């Protein structure tokens, strides 16, 4: 029984001694901070002055020469409809347009969406190469080695696409130090994406509308051409000196017949066009541009305030570490036994 009480007493003493050692350690740590407070405060202030001057200088220098220039990120927004019953399915569309391999490469199946296709097309090599060529990005970015691959990789980092599942809004953004140039790139990409959707034939209604507009224009031009020919022939018949009046009359009748056919064709095409416009008004298109990008008047990055705060905190932490390091080195030098061990003496 006495042994048990003695053991409990010893354990209590050990715990008390541990708490006392911890208390002493905290006091020692605080003492070190007080001892080197001038160094800590001086380094922190110098760090704050440095990062503040660094930030101000980055604003004063021209954007192309600044080491921390303002960057701007214009955005364009499109509406991507993932549910289009009249489209017949995205996979069928790709197969019919001769892009069967595209469905396999991207993993698009019957349950895939048009938004997934849009995200793929924005980062596709074809579209990226068009952007690089249009704006001569190889020279702008001063790319020397592997120009095609390097320009694509660099463009993928600053040309960003994002799709919001809730609203169905697809956003494209581009970041650069020149806000007007960034705006031009975004709008070019938007037009390229719309053209690619049209070429693939995802939106049947829009494709049919384009074809009808082209056919209507061709039919109209043909009618104008035939009318001019008839006028010329009729003018020839009115000439009393014309020796081949019967032949001219026959040609005129044939052209008038052809003109009548063109007029009927034109009327049918116009009727189809008007019906299609009514149909498109009642259905949501697969791809619809909501807003083109504008020139931003506010930078997107960098946040110099956060950079200054983060840098100042980092310098403060490093100065504390240096204080403890200096104190440890000083303690080692003042301890003969430790110095002897470091020198390899027993």
> What gap in Å lies between CA 343 and CA 141, rounded to an integer?
56
Q: Which residue has the higher pLDDT, 82 or 292?
A: 292
Q: Which residues of 143-152 are buried (b: 16+ CB within 10 A; e: fewer)?
A: beeeeeeebb
For residue 87, CA distances in Å to 109, 272, 281 come to 14, 18, 16
Check pLDDT > 60 for residue 46: yes
Residue range 106-159, pLDDT digits in tens: 444 433 577 888 888 888 899 999 999 999 999 988 888 888 999 999 999 999
H or E element: which one contains 77?
strand 75-80
Question: CA 256 to CA 237: how far, in whole Å?
Answer: 15
Percent residues over pLDDT 90 in the chain:
24
What pTM was estimated for this model as a whole?
0.60
pLDDT reading at 58 higher than 90:
no
DSSP state of 72: B
pLDDT (tens digit per residue) in 285-328: 677 888 999 999 898 888 888 999 999 999 999 999 998 888 88
State pLDDT tens for residues 238-264: 654 555 666 767 777 888 888 888 888
Across 226-235, average pLDDT = 78
What is the spatial distance between Cα 230 and Cα 248, in angstroms, rounded to a whole number? 10
Query: Could you give the angle at the alpha carbon of 210 between the alpha carbons of 130 and 195, nearest 5°?
Result: 15
pLDDT at residue 244, as a whole number? 61
Q: 101-105, 178-182, 222-226, 242-246: which has the minimum mean pLDDT?
A: 101-105
């Amino acid at each position: 029984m006495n042994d048990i009480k003695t053991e409990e007493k010893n354990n209590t003493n050990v715990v008390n001694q541990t708490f006392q050692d911890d208390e002493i350690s905290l006091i020692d740590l605080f003492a070190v901070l007080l001892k080197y407070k001038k160094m800590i405060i001086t380094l922190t202030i110098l760090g704050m002055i440095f990062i503040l001057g660094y930030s101000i200088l980055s604003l004063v220098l021209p954007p192309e020469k600044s080491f921390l220039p303002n960057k701007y990120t214009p955005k364009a927004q499109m509406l991507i409809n993932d549910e289009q019953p009249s489209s017949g399915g995205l996979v069928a569309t790709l197969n019919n347009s001769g892009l069967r391999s595209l469905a396999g490469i991207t993993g698009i199946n019957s349950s895939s969406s048009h938004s997934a296709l849009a995200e793929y097309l924005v980062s596709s090599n074809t579209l990226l190469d068009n952007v690089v060529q249009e704006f001569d990005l190889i020279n702008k970015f001063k790319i020397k080695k592997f120009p095609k691959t390097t320009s694509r990789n660099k463009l993928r980092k600053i040309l960003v696409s994002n799709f919001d599942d809730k609203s169905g809004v697809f956003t494209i953004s581009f970041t650069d130090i020149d806000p007007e140039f960034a705006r031009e790139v975004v709008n070019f990409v938007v037009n390229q994406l719309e053209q690619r959707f049209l070429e693939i034939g995802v939106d049947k209604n829009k494709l049919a509308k384009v074809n009808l507009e082209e056919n209507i224009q061709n039919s109209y031009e043909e009618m104008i051409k035939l009318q001019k020919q008839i006028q010329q022939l009729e003018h020839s018949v009115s000439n009393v000196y014309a020796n081949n009046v019967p032949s001219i009359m026959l040609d005129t009748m044939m052209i008038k017949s052809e003109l009548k056919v063109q007029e009927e064709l034109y009327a049918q095409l116009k009727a189809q066009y008007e019906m299609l416009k009514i149909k498109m008004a009642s259905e949501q298109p697969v791809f619809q541009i909501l807003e083109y990008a504008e020139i931003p008047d506010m930078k997107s990055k960098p946040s110099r305030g956060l950079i200054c705060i983060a840098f100042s905190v980092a310098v403060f932490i490093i100065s504390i570490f240096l204080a403890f390091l200096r104190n440890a080195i000083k303690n080692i030098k003042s301890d003969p036994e430790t110095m002897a061990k470091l020198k390899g003496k027993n």
